[in-house]
Every structure is written in C-alpha cells, then in structure tokens.
C-alpha cells in the first residue's frame, strides 16, 4: 500500500529519504496520467507535487486518506487550499527555498534584454560583425520596478541595488516600516510602470491580478522598457504583450510562466519571430541547487507531518 505519491520531478536523494520511512511511489509521469494517479492515491497519506498537478476536488476525492500535500515550490494556484482545509489536509509549500534561483533569473534576463547582444549569436557565427547595433545598455543607473515586494522580490532588489540600480516597488500588503523599504521607494503600480526601465512581476495569480499587465499597463511603460514575468502565467495578457513587442512599443520581455502550461505550439505562435523576447519553460526557480533545497525541505516537512515512521 502506497503511503506517499510524488507526481512530478524531485531530487532523488530526497525521494530516498522518504522511502526510508514510508512506502513511496515516485513517478514524474503521473501528472499526465490521471488514471494511474487514481490507483496510487487510494491509500496515500501524502501527495507531493510541483505546479502542473491540479490538486482540486476531483483529485482529492481520489485520496480519502490524504493528510498532507507538499508543494515543491511556493505558488499555490494549482492547489485548492480551501478544499484541503475542509478535508483537514495540511498544505506545505517550500517557502524561501528557491528565492535565490528566481532572483538570479530576473537579473540574468534583465541583463540579456538590456544588452541585447546575447540574443544574436547566430549573426556573429554567420560572419556578421554588427558592433554598433549590439552596444545595448547597462543595468547600472537604471530603475527596476518590482510589482509585489515579497521575499523573492527583495532578493532581486538587493542584487539590483549592488549593481547600481534604483529600485521602486508596489506592494499594498507589505508594512510601511518593513526593512526592505530601506533600498526601495514605495510607489503606486502606475508609478512602477512609468518610472522603470525593467519591470519584474512578483505577485500570485488571483482575480485581482489576472491580466494586471494588459494593453493599458504596457502602454504606461517606457517604450524601451523590458518586462519580466517569473511569477505566474495569467498576470500578463500575452496577446497584448506580443503585439507591443512586435510593434516596438516595448523594448523586450522575458516570460518563464504562461497562461497555459505547458505552452503549446498553437499558444506560442503569437511569439514567433520576436527577437526581443526570452521564453523559458517555468524554470526560474529550478536550478540544481534549488531543486535539492526544495526537495529536502518538503521531504522533511512531510515526514514531520506524517510522524517520521521507521
């Protein structure tokens, strides 16, 4: 009888740690096989997922013995927290374990988009030598705007500060006396969009943030500004973004998250042939190091919740 079901990739050493104490079924392909998942969940007391497994009423009904849901990451938009609470199921996110990885992703893509040269290797390899058009811009002296100023955004802010950037942020939920405001100016959302050379999104996906960055918001940004979304798909109106990029109303963008994931060829067609765009498959928070941290944190918390049986 299976005690713990893991439906998406997890560090193998953390899986082995769980298996020392409980009968553990680890199969990253389960996320795409609901029928097989059903069979394993019947006896499971714990379920461990990333962002693709939809932990909602239909799935929860498959696991009548579930007591814990471990999330290998921090976003909970794929988990019906209220339904879990009604069933007395504890939901455990890996808070803080991948902050550094996401922060480095934001800084990396900001550098890529402002400098521009890193996206044009094929031209140089083909024998072109476009030095003047590849000069690009520096981060130093520019303004980065953070929409949401939680722990990940504050990691971005410290790195941007050390690189000589000015920082503005919008977060109506963060206390005005929080130490993070020592290096960031607390402004409105519109001010973040208007003032920033780089705008980075750090909010959850809610009814209030759905398409927060729409055509109007994009028009508020600087024409040579860049937008980075490593938070949640759906915060950005992708069609409006593609149109702004294609018509040179925005300098560039990086998307690590999408309205539909995995991104299909049909959904991605609007982004084709855009040279000022970086697309990655929801990996901002996933590095070798962060995968170890996230996996081991969740393994230990799940064992603690279940009682660490030997």
Question: Do residues 104 and 290 lie in contact, with contact meaning Cβ atoms separated by under 8 Å?
Answer: no
Angle at the Cα of 270 from the Cα atoms of 139 and 223, rounded to 5 degrees: 35
Query: Catalytic: 131?
Result: no
Catalytic one among 123, 243, 261, 292?
261
Q: What's the CA dihedral at 10, 14, 15, 16 to 10 degrees?
A: 150
CATH code of residue 159: 3.40.50.720
Do residues 86 and 218 share a domain? no
SS3 257: coil
Q: Is residue 259 part of a domain?
A: yes
Q: Which domain holds residue 237?
A: 99-279
Q: Is residue 29 part of a domain?
A: yes
pLDDT at residue 310, as a whole number: 52
Q: How confident is the model at residue 120 (pLDDT cuts 50, 70, 90)?
A: confident
CA-closest candidate to residue 151, choices 195, 100, 221, 80: 100
Dist CA 118 CA 108 (whole Å): 11
Question: Do residues 91 and 79 lie in contact, with contact meaning Cβ atoms separated by under 8 Å?
Answer: yes
Helices and strands (DSSP H and E) totals, the chain: 12, 12
Do residues 55 and 191 share a domain? no
pLDDT digits (tens, 9 = 90+) for 23-82: 999 999 999 998 888 889 999 999 999 999 999 999 999 999 999 999 999 989 899 999
Average pLDDT over residues 120-144: 92
Catalytic one among 40, 67, 159, 282?
282
Do residues 106 and 93 share a domain? no
Total structural domains in the chain?
2
Dist CA 274 CA 128 (whole Å): 20
Do residues 295 and 204 share a domain? no
Average pLDDT over residues 127-149: 94
Do residues 138 and 234 share a domain? yes
Q: Is residue 284 part of a domain?
A: no
Dist CA 47 CA 63 (whole Å): 9
Instruction: For the chain, give the mean pLDDT.
Output: 95
Do residues 138 and 266 share a domain? yes
Query: Catalytic: 115?
Result: no
Rg (CA), the chain: 21
Catalytic one among 232, 238, 259, 293?
232
Q: Report the half-sphere exposure of 200 (CA within 13 A, side-chain side).
A: 31
């Amino acid at each position: 009888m299976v005690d713990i079901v893991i439906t998406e990739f997890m560090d193998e050493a953390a899986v082995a740690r769980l298996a020392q104490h409980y009968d553990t079924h680890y199969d990253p392909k389960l996320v795409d096989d609901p029928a097989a998942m059903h069979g394993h969940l019947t006896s499971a007391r714990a379920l461990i997922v990333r962002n693709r497994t939809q932990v909602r009423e239909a799935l929860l009904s498959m696991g009548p013995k579930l007591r814990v849901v471990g999330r290998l990451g921090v976003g909970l938009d794929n988990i019906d927290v209220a339904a879990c609470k009604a069933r007395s199921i504890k939901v455990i996110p890996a808070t803080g374990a991948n902050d550094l990885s996401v922060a480095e992703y934001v800084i990396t893509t900001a550098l890529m988009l402002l400098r521009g040269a890193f996206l044009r290797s094929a031209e140089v390899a083909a024998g072109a030598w476009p030095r003047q058009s590849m000069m690009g811009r520096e981060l130093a002296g520019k303004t980065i705007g953070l929409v949401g100023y939680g722990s990940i955004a504050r990691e971005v802010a410290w790195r941007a500060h050390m690189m000589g950037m000015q920082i503005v942020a919008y977060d109506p939920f963060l206390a005005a006396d929080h130490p993070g405001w020592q290096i960031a100016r607390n402004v409105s959302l519109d001010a973040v969009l208007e003032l920033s050379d780089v705008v980075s999104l750090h909010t959850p996906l809610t009814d209030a943030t759905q398409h927060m960055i729409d055509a109007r918001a994009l028009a508020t940004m600087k024409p040579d500004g860049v937008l980075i979304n490593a938070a949640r798909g759906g915060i950005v109106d992708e069609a409006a973004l593609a149109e702004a990029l294609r018509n040179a109303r925005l300098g560039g963008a990086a998307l690590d998250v999408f309205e539909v994931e995995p991104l299909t060829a049909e959904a991605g067609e609007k982004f084709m042939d855009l040279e000022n765009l970086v697309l990655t498959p929801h990996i901002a928070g996933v590095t070798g190091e962060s995968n170890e941290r996230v996996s081991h944190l969740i393994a230990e918390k799940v064992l603690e919740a279940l009682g660490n049986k030997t």
